[in-house]
Structures are given as structure tokens and as C-alpha cells.
Structure 1
Amino acid sequence: MSRESLRQTFGEDADLYDRVRPTYPPELFDALAAVVGDHPRVLEIGPGTGQATSAMVERAWPVTAVELSPGLADVLRRKYPAVEVIVADFDTLELPAQSFDLVISATAFHWLDPATRVQRCVDLLRPGGALAVVSTHHVAGGSEQFFVDVQACYDRFTDDAVANGLPAADDVPKDPEGFERSGLFGSAEFRRYVWDVDYSAPEYLELLSSYSGHRALTIERRDGLYDCIGALIGAAGGSITKRYLNQLSVGISLNQPLA
């Protein structure tokens, strides 16, 4: 399926997405606050149901959120009435130039048009404003043998097996969006946050059901995959530990004040 098709799948079960998707380390937002100050005007792209929004609302940052899915947007509005939620495709949405101190996208930037996404974000930043991209990576660690063994399930039921296993956190490239090469930023910095989450078999299968690639499988393939994964978790004692890497990439805009 294409990028355009896959990114439509997340809103098919907004309540599931809200229930299972993890949030982000508080330290990540502490690092952002050190860059943008205590009360930045924020544009969040692809907020889902507020996995990153929650930390900004807690800090009383004024947030405008652009969400593609009406279903996810409805949940976001219900949870955070103070957030201005716009249901739109950011790739074609027109917003006033130089209107925000911070443009942030958490685990959603890769769904935007790669040819235009960085420039479109930079155009919305006030002079000295920051573009922050938070990426989420599945990395080696936690229940390591389970994640080796589970590749046989993916080999059997999907086309998405990881040939060489999960990468170590330190092996994930520090600048996947090319901030340093873009010429659009006066400076760029990168931080990593590694953390573990424990899942029972039902919890882990629900998490997988929120991923676009799993939702795109046929029912027969998905049922077979989940049976295979569930059996492995049962053999591992009924629960597994998953390791996440969140990488924060921050670029400071070179924009000049509007005439």
C-alpha cells in the first residue's frame, strides 16, 4: 500500500489507538523547553489522540494541532478542549507564515510529503523558532530472544520481516530528516531516549493492531500472525519487554522577520 493509503488506517479505531499508543519521556519536553522557552506558540502535526500533546498541555503551551483523521481528532478534542484541532492534510494546508515558535511532529513526520515537509514547516516558524521531529524506533533490547524468534512469524505471514534483527539504539542514524544538510537551520541538535515497556500477550497484540502495516494485512494473514506471536509470548512466560528509542531532532530556523 502507498504512503497515502497507509496513513489513513490509524483513524479506523481511534479508541484503540488512544488506549495502546505510548507517550514520550518527560525529559524530551524538558529539552524542548530549554530551546523554545516556557510559553511557545506550538503547531503540532499528526498528533493522533495526544500522545505528545499531553506533555505540552501540562506545560500550558498553546497548541494548534493538524490531524488528518477525523476520528483521531475527535478523541483529541474530547481529551484536550483547550487545543485548537484542525482536520486537514498538512501537505496541502495553508497557514500564515512565521506564526509559530515551535513546529513539532511526533512519530508522524514520515507520513508527510518528503519533498516538501521540511520547507513547509520552516516557513511557519518565527525567526529563531524550532522545528522538532520526534521519531520512534524499535530497537534491540528487552526480551531479545522473543524479538529474534518472532521474525519467523513475520516471514510466514507478511512481507515485512527484519532480515538482520532489530538495530541497536546507537546504530540508528542521528539525522534521518537531513536537518544538517538542508541549509534551512542555523543549528541542529539530536538527543536519544531509550526506555522499556512490559506487555502481556493481549496488550502487545492490541499495540500491533494500531500499526498501519498490521492493519493493512488481510484478516487471514493477521489472524495467523497474531496466533503465532501470541504462542511465542506464552512460551516466554506470558509477557515480554519491548525497547523503544525516541530520537529528538531540533533545528533552529534561519528565518528573517517579515517585512
Structure 2
Amino acid sequence: MDSDERLLHSSSFGAAAAEYAAHRPDYAQAAVRWALESAPGPRVLDLGAGTGKLTATLAALGADVIAVEPDPAMLAELRSGLPAVRALPGSAEAIPLPDASVDAVLAGNAMHWFDMAVAGPEISRVLAPGGILAGLWNVMDDHVEWVAGLARVAGSAAIGPRDTPASWRAVTADMHLPKAGAKARVAARFGSPEQAEFPHGQRRTADSLVATLATRAGMLVMPEQEREAALGRIGAFLSSRPETADGEFTLPMLTAVLRVRRLGDSSVA
């Protein structure tokens, strides 16, 4: 995805902010605990926080969390749902926080939208030495037969390259994480990236799962006629399956985590 296409997709969520807040899942608490494991303190930045799905989990675990989100509509939903949380306008490329002010930076289903050539030095700047950077993604468990069938029917606009476990592992294995750079005021060293996955699930009906998939960026930027046709195919598939046709069911998921630790600083000229 080139920079223009990434910008188009990443800026699409505001138009569906209320639907995103209503239908997107939270994150497995075990995954968030692992992401924060051995962080030097409780100060956590939720970067690209959206409507606060990860923010709420962090707050429930007792973190001293600050949320930063660039989209005004998404930020308004976050502030409405989590009024006690400090929530600021800003982006991964321009974080409105002082140097070394947080012990961890987490991003829920957001890191793939960051321009890491710019965001990397910014994240390094606000992270305390020994701090943690972690991306979390909720992925569908396509080892379950009906979920694999759903992925085939839905197509890549609804279930994309980070939305199943095997594809998530492959994509994030080569993800551009922060590196020391001559343009950074402080060049931070990071350890080797680690991946882990944790069981998760979301209670859905056929209609609410269709509504969830409608909030994916690939669906939001699709021409309306194509989008309605795609959602119709998904709804028809779910109505045809005994696991999903009637009432509530659990969508089998994993919360997948990519974690890296900041090791220390060295000055640059």
C-alpha cells in the first residue's frame, strides 16, 4: 500500500466512528498484560487510540493511560465513552507529550497505519529507557472451519492481510519498527521483536458481525454499490451456517501482539 492509499484508508474511520465504537471488539486482557510485562512503570500511551477499545482495557487493568488520536470524530467517541481518561488530539508522527514521559506505547489495530520513518523517532522520544512498544491486533481464528469460510466469502476488503493468525505473523515479522536515526535527537536502541497470541472472542449475531466487518477500512473506502453487495454476500453466508444463523454466537479470535523493548539511549550529533 503506497502512502496515498494508506492515508485514504487510515482517514476513513471517522465517518463510521459511532459504528466502530458500537461493534469493534476489545482486547484480551492477557495479551495486554503480556504487552506491558516488565514495563518500567504504569504510564501508558495508547497511540492511534480510535474510539478507546484498547484504552478501556488498559484502564481496567489499572494503567495510568493517556490516549492520542488524530481523527476528531473518533476522539469524540473516546471522550464520550471514557470521560475520566486524558485524551489528546495528535498522531504517531506528532505525539503531544514530553520526552521520556511514558513507560509503554501501545497501539491497537493501528501500528500498520503509522509512517514509522517519522513515527519511530517520535515514539523513541516519548518512551522512557526500558520502555515497551507493542502493537496489538485482533485476528479471526480461521482454524475454525466456518471462520475460514467467512474469510473466503468476505474477501480482502473485509478480512485483510493482518486479520488471520498466519497472515498476521507473516506481515508483522518484517514490520518496520523504530531504529536509531541521525535525524533523531536521541537515538534509542531496541531489542528483538517478539510475537505472541492470546485466545479471545466476541459475542455477535449475524447482523452485528456484518456491521463489524462494515467498519473495516477496505469496506469504508469501497464504492457504495460494491460495499452493499459485499455485505450482502457476508450476511447470506452467515445466515446459511448453523453456527451463526440464529441468535448469538462467539466469533473465535486471537489478540496478537508484537512487542519490542527500548534498551537505552545514545547521543547523536
Q: Where on the TM-score scale, by shorter chain, does this alignment land: which range?
A: 0.7 to 0.9
> Does 176-185 or 220-229 show the bigger shift?
176-185
Query: Which residue, 132, 141, 150 being the options, matches 1:130?
Result: 132
Query: Are residues 1:256 and 2:265 paired?
Result: yes
Equivalent residue number for residue 151 of structure 1: 152
- State the 1:33 CA deviation: 4.3
Contact 1:12 1:71 in 2 (8 A): yes
User: Which residue does 1:212 correspond to in 2?
Assistant: 217
The root-mean-square deviation of aligned C-alpha atoms, in Å, is 3.2
Q: Within the alignment, does 1:74 sit opposite 2:71 as a pair?
A: no
Structure 2 CA distance for partners of 1:14 and 1:149, relative to 1, 3 Å? closer
**Residue 10 of structure 1 is aligned with which of 1, 6, 13?**
13
Alpha-carbon shift at residue 45 of structure 1 (Å): 0.6
Scaled by the length of structure 2, the TM-score of the pair is: 0.79
Deviation, structure 1 residue 146: 5.8
CA contact (8 A) 1:126 1:257 kept: no
2:183 equivalent in structure 1: none
Q: Deviations over 1:50-77 (max 9, x none)?
A: 1111122123322221101111111211
Distance 1:163 1:188 in 2: 22
List alignment gaps of at least 5 residues for structure 1: none
- Tell me the equivalent position of 1:91: 93
Is 1:172 equivalent to 2:181 in the alignment? no
Query: Which consecutive residues of structure 2, in runs of 5 or more, have no partner in the other structure?
Result: 181-187
Q: CA deviation at 1:206?
A: 0.5
Superposed counterparts of 1:16-165, under 5 Å: 16-36=19-39, 39-93=41-95, 95-142=97-144, 144-145=145-146, 147-148=148-149, 151-152=152-153, 154=155, 160=157
The answer (yes or no) to whether the contact 1:169–1:245 under 8 Å persists in 2 is no
Q: Distance in 2 between matches of 1:70 and 1:149?
A: 33
Q: How many equivalent pairs are there?
A: 251
Same amino acid, percent of matched pairs: 24
**Measured at CA, do residues 34 and 172 of structure 1 come closer, stay the same or move farther in structure 2, by a change above 3 Å?**
closer
1: CA distance, partners of 2:43 / 2:139: 28
Q: Deviations over 1:1-59 (max 9, x none)?
A: 7111111111112221111100111112222443126x511111111111111122123
The answer to whether structure 1 residue 247 and structure 2 residue 253 are counterparts is no
Moved more, 243-252 or 205-214: 243-252
Q: State the match for 2:184 in structure 1.
A: none
Residue 227 (structure 1) aligns with: 232
Aligned partners of 1:6 and 1:213 also within 8 Å: yes
- Letter of the aligned partner of 1:252 in structure 2? R
